[in-house]
């Protein structure tokens, strides 16, 4: 299931190295890094996790030291949780945040899905029956793969044909019944949220709105109100209310005629635009904004967004998207290949190779370049 993606089709603002530099800093892609996966996810509010393996790298590249196993360990130890926090997309939240984030964002996500539910002939009774069936099954078995969940629903008389099954499971996640648990081999599993992260309270909606607003602009700035509305799924009215509560803790800046908000922390001169970084598909560096033209040349947009809502992994050099990349896992190595690099010079190719080595270190594999 892919999400609608708002890559711009209208006029672009120019590529802006200033915005790129600030975003690289505030997203902790450059500069100071985090110590733990929990620190990363908590600071971001929630972090895109649509592509599971890519999302592990999205967390890891923002840490001082990390490995793919260390991120999966954080999931297994329940300090971070993978669920559907917003819209139709998967994401990580800090365990202590998952309930209030869902309370704040899930009602809008459910409302936005009503048309799709009608297309799939999903009615409220289907969700009520499904909730009961899945809860009973998980109380007995404690975790279910997607296929096992579908079998439970089918045996209970609820069709999972087409995309009905995954929409039912995500709806139950919106309702705080289930979330993702540990992997069983290569299969994702579902668990009861109350069993997985028990005894965690929510918070008043107004407090949650203020908190998420602050975290978004602190971690994603410079960003606009429309960026926050897109990322969160909230209305512009809610976004403006949240901003009013925290605007004294942010700074406003007009760039290319647009109003941007960000944390009042400046990156150190000369520390941001050094070398290349390989970002996974759906990384917050692109997906966190409705307008990406400050860092993404329109000529590259079709390569980055080559298949509907699927965003390809990107090569970022000096904060600007320079191309895409692919990986292919082998038994003892990972093959990494640059794609769509526009007239790369020797310095850019060397930077790409260094970035590929860092990715290989994260996986614990040797790197082969195709």
CA distance readout (Å), 328 to 96, 334, 336, 360: 35, 6, 7, 11
| DSSP at 31 | S
Helices (H) then strands (E): counts for the chain: 16, 13
pLDDT surpasses 50 at 16: yes
Which tokens belong to 29?
A: 């892609």
Angle between helices 164-174 and 146-155 (to 10 degrees): 100
- Alpha-carbon span 163 to 84, nearest angstrom: 16
pLDDT tens profile 281-331 = 999 999 999 989 999 988 888 888 876 667 899 999 989 999 999 999 998
**Which of 30, 29, 45, 18 is closest to 218 using CA atoms?**
45
Distances (CA, A) of 125 to 121, 130, 132, 160: 11, 8, 11, 14
- Provide the pLDDT confidence category of residue 8 given band limits of 50, 70 and 90: very low
Element (H, E) at 312: none
Determine the pLDDT at residue 363: 97
Mean predicted confidence (pLDDT) in 49-61: 96
The Cα–Cα gap between 37 and 94 comes to 9
Q: Is the pLDDT of residue 121 over 90?
A: yes
d(CA 63, CA 195): 29
Q: Give the burial class of 266: count Cβ atoms within 10 A of its Cβ; 0-12 exposed, 13-18 middle, 19 or more buried.
A: exposed
């Amino acid at each position: 299931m892919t999400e609608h993606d708002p890559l711009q089709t209208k006029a672009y603002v120019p590529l802006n190295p200033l915005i790129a530099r600030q975003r690289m800093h505030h997203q902790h892609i450059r500069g100071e890094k985090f110590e733990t996966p929990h620190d990363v996810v908590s600071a971001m509010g929630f972090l895109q996790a649509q592509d599971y393996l890519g999302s592990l790298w999205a967390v890891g590249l923002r840490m001082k030291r990390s490995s793919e196993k260390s991120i999966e360990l954080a999931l297994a130890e329940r300090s971070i949780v993978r669920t559907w926090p917003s819209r139709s997309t998967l994401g990580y939240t800090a365990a202590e945040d998952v309930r209030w984030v869902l309370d704040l964002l899930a009602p809008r996500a459910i409302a936005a899905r009503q048309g799709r539910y009608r297309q799939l002939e999903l009615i409220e009774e289907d969700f009520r029956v499904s909730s009961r069936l899945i809860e009973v099954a998980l109380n007995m078995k404690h975790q279910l793969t997607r296929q096992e969940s579908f079998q439970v629903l089918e045996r209970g008389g609820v069709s999972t044909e087409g995309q009905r099954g995954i929409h039912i499971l995500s709806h139950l996640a919106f309702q705080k019944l289930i979330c993702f648990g540990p992997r069983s081999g290569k299969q994702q599993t579902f668990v009861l949220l109350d069993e997985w992260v028990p005894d965690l309270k929510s918070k008043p909606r107004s407090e949650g709105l203020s908190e998420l607003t602050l975290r978004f602009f602190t971690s994603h700035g410079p960003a606009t109100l429309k960026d926050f509305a897109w990322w969160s799924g909230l209305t512009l009215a809610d976004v403006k209310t949240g901003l009013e509560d925290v605007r004294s803790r942010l700074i406003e800046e007009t760039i290319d005629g647009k109003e941007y908000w960000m944390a009042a922390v400046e990156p150190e001169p000369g520390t941001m635009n050094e070398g290349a970084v390989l970002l996974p598909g759906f990384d917050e560096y692109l997906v966190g904004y409705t307008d990406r033209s400050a860092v993404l040349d329109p000529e590259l947009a079709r390569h980055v967004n080559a298949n509907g809502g699927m965003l390809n992994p990107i090569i970022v050099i000096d904060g600007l998207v320079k191309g895409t990349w692919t990986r292919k896992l082998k038994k003892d190595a990972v093959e990494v290949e640059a794609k769509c690099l526009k007239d790369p010079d020797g310095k850019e190719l060397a930077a790409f190779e260094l970035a590929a080595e860092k990715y290989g270190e994260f996986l614990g594999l040797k790197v082969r370049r195709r």
